[in-house]
Structure 1
Amino acid sequence: MKSSIKECSQINTTDAKSARYVAMAVGIAHLLNDAYASFLHPLLPRLMDKLGLSITLAAALSMIFSLSSSIMQPMAGYLADRFGRKVFVIAGPLISGVFLSLIGLAPSLSVLLAILLLGGIGSAVFHPPGAAMAARTAEGKGSGLRMSFFSCCGSLGYAIGPLAIIGLVTTVGLENTWMAVAPVIVLTLLLLVALPPDDPQISNPDPPSLREVLSGLKGPLGVVFCISALGAFAQRVFITLSPIISSEAGASEAVGALTLSVYLGAQAFGSLASGWLTDRVDRSQLLAWLTGLSVPTHMLALWLPPGSLGAFIFAACSGFLNMALLPPIVVMAQEIIPKSPAMGSAVVMGLAWATGSLGLLGTGIIGDWISPQFAGLVSAPVLFLGTALCFHPQLKSYRKVVS
């Protein structure tokens, strides 16, 4: 009996160690995938000059990219739950990295749209299986801390991307963004070696259909979905308008990129802190505080002079609070749909992010009509709707931590 217990303990230790390696590999993939996804926004002022785009068209580009990187996620989650996650985790960053490295080569708006659509699809393919793999690689299911590690890596990628791409185009020119493809080639080779074959016990041959999951939006999943969509709208507005506001104020391109990196870098810390809290506190109250505090911080970050200390401080606060929404939202979704964690993640990340992105077109029109700063300031209070939704009765069963 003692020998059997000892052997079982050794197996569990080995599995946990292997799980940590897998989690690290998926985290690195998320970092690089989201670094490529952050290339567009700091380049918007250059692309507007090169292609003669208005603020409305620039916002439309951001919206279309967000839609392409989000709307395919539920289907990707369904396929990953049914057939395995490894191929999606490897292929997603590769597709995203290859196409988004070509942004600077686009000779026209139509070519740029095609590049963004294809690059966005690559990102969409990665996120649901990546989130499910990250949250389930160690013992236990739906851990906020494990989800926060995955989220943190993506936020770091988003923070590094703007500085990296601006540094590259400043050195070699906008037409040479293709040089950025090298890291994703190396990543693909590493993932082929680092990720083990899919565990047949994890793959679910009969997950809930996409229609069944979407019909669940009438219940608690729909409430979580709306909170996520509102948070995504606030983030998309900030990262789209902030570089344009900086440019129109006469600030340097570096100031615009640094503001994005401060905002997106702070998201990494927000996801880590929130992941720890998600496992310990009432999730509805946590989400209510995060959404409520996000309104004044986003407004101040857009209102204060670009490049000022105050603008950087409130950009950091806004990013921290915005990404802190993700761990409790994803964990609650996975608990609501326990048989299909990847699809649950896809609905509250991909589909919700796509829905939130739709508002960008209206924001862009207001930006052209009045000013980009005004458009950002009137958009931020929408998050108060999320605060109200946090106390919806249908979330009662998922507010507390599952023991």
Structure 2
Amino acid sequence: MSVIDEHSAAQADSAWHRMRYWVFAHAVDDFYQGLVPAAIPFFVLERHYSYTAASGLALAATLGSALPQPILGLLADRRPLLWLAPAGLTAAGVGAGLAGPAPGYAAAWILLLLSGIGVAAFHPAAGRDARRDAGDSATAMSLFAVGGNLGFFLAPALATPALVTLGVGATACFIPPAVLMGAVLWRYQQRRAATHRPAAQTGGRDRWAPFLLLTAIAVVRSVIAFGMNTFIALYWIGHLGASRGFGGVALTAFLVGGVLGTLLGGRIADRAGMLRTIQIGSIAAVPALILLRAVPEQHLALAAAVLAGLAVNIPFAVLVKLGQDYLPGRPGTASGVTLGLAVSAGGLFVPVLGVLADHRGPQSVLTVLCLIPVAAVILGFLLPPPTHDRRSARADTPLSTLDS
């Protein structure tokens, strides 16, 4: 093994050692966000909900996870709140788990709202403390972000067989991991606080204008991700003629691509800069989604689903880190918005897509999603480089400027 390879392996091992608790915690938390779209086809098929009504369940989880984010982010910037991430993770799992066996639509809607509030409680504090442990490594932050992707990936992979066998009430089987991981994370936070002094906030001026541009890009990416997570299985079942189980396989394929894309995005950012990573991912998403929509055969389309998930998620970890770089004095607010509010905001558009699916079929939703990344491409070229980190700023500076 060369010296460079040994150094890269040592860096990866060090990043994993620092981030392993956050990877597992983020995976468990976002499992319950992934459980909602995995269960929606079963609400439609077993309880005969319309696409619009089923999309309303996704909206409930989104409202809970989106609306409290700014307030919780401000609180995380002012107080340690070491209990907030573990408690939020636990609430996310209990709410989502009880939604399946809930006796009616209203009860399921309220439980998913409470689950979303748990997700909202987890992300600002977790994003702040994960950045504390990651330092300035985009690769380390990509490990934290990929934990969320893994949670989304495992949800259909684990839940679909249970839902096919036991029905939508099987969501209750997935409550214990939230309770266990919440306890483990709480113990870790206590140990970390006892053995380390609180890290000082990174110096620098908060830059709200570029942060808002970045938030808009995160919302665009979120619309695509939520749209695909909610309707890709229904597209396979209703348009490509697949079975229920194979519809879950299609969602899993898209989420596998998301895991790969998040890891790839962190590596690209450490080498080429964060802005170029966002631009590369945004541009690549357009042909990848078009290919997915164009392939007419359900088995061949699985490869296109992986590719689309990869392209859409290349910017994911970078959005979180760059948001904290734009707001160096407010890491909790930055992570709450980019990792929580903006990501959840995509779910607000799901009912609109549900109405479209009711009238034109789920294939019309995938057609619309092919056009949405164009907005992220335009916004990506308007972002300025971060200023507090000279290495990152230089990597993201146009080559013509560096050569002058």
TM-score by length of 2: 0.85
1:74 to 70, 78, 83: 70
2:290 to 299, 307, 313: 299
Greater mean deviation of Cα atoms: 108-117 or 393-402: 393-402
1:126 to 122, 127, 130: 122
Q: Distance in 2 between matches of 1:282 and 1:344?
A: 19
Report the CA distance shift for 1:95/1:248 in structure 2 as closer, same or farther (over 3 A).
Answer: same
Structure 2 partner of 1:271? 262
Asked whether the 8 Å contact 1:159–1:265 carries over to 2, the reply is yes
Matched, 1:100 2:96: yes
Asked whether the 8 Å contact 1:330–1:349 carries over to 2, the reply is yes
Structure 1 partner of 2:138? 144
Greater mean deviation of Cα atoms: 286-295 or 226-235: 286-295
Structure 2 partner of 1:32? 28
2:350 to 340, 345, 360: 360
Asked whether the 8 Å contact 1:363–1:379 carries over to 2, the reply is no
Q: CA deviation at 1:173?
A: 3.4
Report the CA distance shift for 1:398/1:365 in structure 2 as closer, same or farther (over 3 A).
Answer: farther
Q: CA deviation at 1:300?
A: 2.6
Root mean square deviation of aligned Cα: 2.8
Q: Which runs of 5+ in 2 are unaligned?
A: 1-12, 395-404
Q: Distance in 2 between matches of 1:156 and 1:347?
A: 21
Q: Aligned letter for 1:74?
A: P
Number of matched residues? 377
Q: Which runs of 5+ in 1 are unaligned?
A: 1-16
Q: Aligned letter for 1:384?
A: V
1:191 to 172, 185, 192: 185
3-state SS in 2 of match to 1:137: helix
Q: Distance in 1 between matches of 2:366 and 2:56?
A: 15
Q: CA deviation at 1:22?
A: 5.6
Asked whether the 8 Å contact 1:71–1:351 carries over to 2, the reply is yes
Q: Distance in 2 between matches of 1:188 and 1:397?
A: 36
Asked whether the 8 Å contact 2:259–2:310 carries over to 1, the reply is yes
Asked whether the 8 Å contact 1:274–1:325 carries over to 2, the reply is yes
3-state SS in 1 of match to 2:175: helix
Asked whether the 8 Å contact 1:70–1:349 carries over to 2, the reply is no
Structure 2 partner of 1:113? 109
Q: Aligned letter for 2:146?
A: C
Structure 2 partner of 1:8? none
Structure 2 partner of 1:160? 154
Matched, 1:251 2:242: yes
Deviations 1:78-125 (CA, angstroms, capped at 9, x unpaired): 222222152122112111111111122122211111011001111111
Asked whether the 8 Å contact 1:44–1:243 carries over to 2, the reply is no
Give the 5 Å matches for 1:160-179.
160-179=154-173
Q: Distance in 2 between matches of 1:398 and 1:81?
A: 19
Structure 2 partner of 1:12? none
Structure 1 partner of 2:198? 201
Q: Distance in 1 between matches of 2:29 and 2:154?
A: 11
In percent, how many aligned pairs have the same letter? 25
Greater mean deviation of Cα atoms: 316-325 or 355-364: 355-364
Structure 2 partner of 1:389? 379
Q: CA deviation at 1:197?
A: 4.7
Q: CA deviation at 1:394?
A: 4.3
Q: Distance in 2 between matches of 1:375 and 1:269?
A: 24
Deviations 1:36-95 (CA, angstroms, capped at 9, x unpaired): 221111221220133332112222322332232233222222222222152122112111
1:225 to 201, 215, 232: 215
Asked whether the 8 Å contact 1:65–1:116 carries over to 2, the reply is yes
Deviations 1:260-301 (CA, angstroms, capped at 9, x unpaired): 111112212211111122122143332122112112212332
Asked whether the 8 Å contact 1:242–1:302 carries over to 2, the reply is no
Structure 2 partner of 1:342? 332
TM-score by length of 1: 0.85
3-state SS in 2 of match to 1:69: helix
Asked whether the 8 Å contact 1:220–1:395 carries over to 2, the reply is no
Asked whether the 8 Å contact 1:34–1:158 carries over to 2, the reply is yes
Matched, 1:260 2:254: no
Asked whether the 8 Å contact 2:269–2:276 carries over to 1, the reply is no
Report the CA distance shift for 1:395/1:226 in structure 2 as closer, same or farther (over 3 A).
Answer: farther
Give the 5 Å matches for 1:11-26.
23-26=19-22
1:324 to 314, 331, 334: 314
Report the CA distance shift for 1:46/1:306 in structure 2 as closer, same or farther (over 3 A).
Answer: farther
Q: Aligned letter for 1:369?
A: H
3-state SS in 2 of match to 1:53: coil
Q: Aligned letter for 1:256?
A: G
Asked whether the 8 Å contact 2:60–2:110 carries over to 1, the reply is no
Greater mean deviation of Cα atoms: 171-180 or 249-258: 171-180
Q: CA deviation at 1:200?
A: 5.6
Q: Aligned letter for 2:270?
A: D
Greater mean deviation of Cα atoms: 184-193 or 257-266: 184-193
Report the CA distance shift for 1:362/1:202 in structure 2 as closer, same or farther (over 3 A).
Answer: same
Q: CA deviation at 1:259?
A: 1.2
3-state SS in 2 of match to 1:338: coil
